[in-house]
Amino acid sequence: MAQAQAFEKKQMRTPIESGCPDGMQFMHPLMVKNFGNWKYHDRPRPGVLHHVAYSGDEIWTVRVGTQRQLGPYEINLLCDIVDKYGEGHVRFTIRSNLEVMVSKWEKVGPLIQAFNDAGYPVGGTGNSVTMISHTQGWLHCDIPGTDASGVVKSLMDELYEEFIKEEMPNRVHITTSCCQINCGGQGDIAINVQHTKPPKINHDLVANVCERPSVVARCPVAAIRPAIVNGKPSLEVDEKKCICCGACYPPCPPMQINDPEHSKLAIWVGGKNSNARSKPMFQKLVAAGLPNNPPRWPEVAAVVKKILYTYKKDARDWERVGDWVERIGWPRFFELTGLPFTKFHIDNWRGARNSLNASAHIRF
């Protein structure tokens, strides 16, 4: 309560050129009033959170799945529902769920019905497959090898039932990433672009477009050298060294690495960011060379569903995907899922043990 009063007296911070505006001004008034003073919360049904404050105030939050890329029609539709059945306050989660807050339990049922009637599912809480997170894809970024949001939409259509129910052993976070090097995250199951051939260089453009020393410096395995080609300054790649990471393509687009045939999708499992129950884990490669096959990516969906339903059947309560694999062991994981195991799955790099701080657990 004291914090809420302090907030009311405090002025909003001055807008700055970059960064998002202060979120407090958009919050539901009950949330501002009880900020920092919540007594407990529970989930009366999948997709609904219920928070109770020390003051006795209660608030219900309805979580709605969206198709990720929203146009004016969808935004108007969703806002009309929120104005009619909610209380005019919404927020987006980091996984692009829409959350609508209401101060009365009686409003929850009609709100859910209105979203369902408009084709929007309510769920994504607790032990569900929550909304799949994706990187920006063709919509915003200049280097993607696939449309990460398209992979997400087609997969969420396949996993609809797992979004609206809470029937997994623990929550499942699925992520996608449309290049191999930048903004993808760790996930219980991750779908990441995988280039399989070195970049093709357009030597006529390199001198005009690229700063050659910075491109040379970008390569993690020192495979790029300056070269003169057809009398013009350019670059060359030692293809025996190149690991096809794609790091040279963003600073030098004439080093084109995206390829309709050779840019594939790979699936990784067992990553998690949270410190709950076990320390954070890096995901591991389990399937590679899957076709990058828009608009529905059926081969990727088949492998993801195989892993997900094996986990659902075999894991113990509260085991995340990575915990489950640690318990049964990788050989058993490949046996149960039926995925082929090859020598390329063996990760024998040990540098991270000394150099990366992978956990917030206290160690001595």
Interactions with ligand SF4, residue window 192-221 (CB under 6 A):
198-199, 218-219, 221
Shortest Cβ 214–ligand SF4 spacing (Å): 12
Strands 224-229 and 232-237: antiparallel
Out of 245, 269, 286, 304, which residue is the one contacting ligand SF4 (CB under 6 A)? 245
Q: Which of the stretches 9-17, 45-53, 72-80, 246-254 binds ligand SF4 when contact is defined by CB under 6 A? A: 246-254
How far apart are the C-alpha atoms of 160 and 121, rounded to whole Å? Answer: 8
Strands 263-269 and 284-290: antiparallel
Residue type, 320: R
Check residue 263 for interaction with ligand SF4 (CB under 6 A).
no
How far apart are the C-alpha atoms of 109 and 99, rounded to whole Å? Answer: 15
Kindly state the helix (H) or strand (E) to which residue 280 belongs, with its residue range: none
Interface map 149-188 toward ligand SF4 (x if CB under 6 A)? ----------------------------xxx--xxx----
Shortest Cβ 112–ligand SF4 spacing (Å): 33
How far apart are the C-alpha atoms of 239 and 193, rounded to whole Å? Answer: 20
Check residue 6 for interaction with ligand SF4 (CB under 6 A).
no
Specify whether the CB–CB gap between 132 and 157 falls below 8 A.
no
Shortest Cβ 338–ligand SF4 spacing (Å): 29
Kindly state the helix (H) or strand (E) to which residue 117 belongs, with its residue range: helix 108-117
Check residue 237 for interaction with ligand SF4 (CB under 6 A).
yes
21 Cβ contact partners less than 8 Å away, ≥ 6 residues apart? 15
Out of 53, 81, 164, 242, which residue is the one contacting ligand SF4 (CB under 6 A)? 242
Residues that bind ligand SF4 (CB under 6 A): 135-136, 141, 143-144, 148, 177-179, 182-184, 198-199, 218-219, 221, 223-224, 237, 242-248, 257
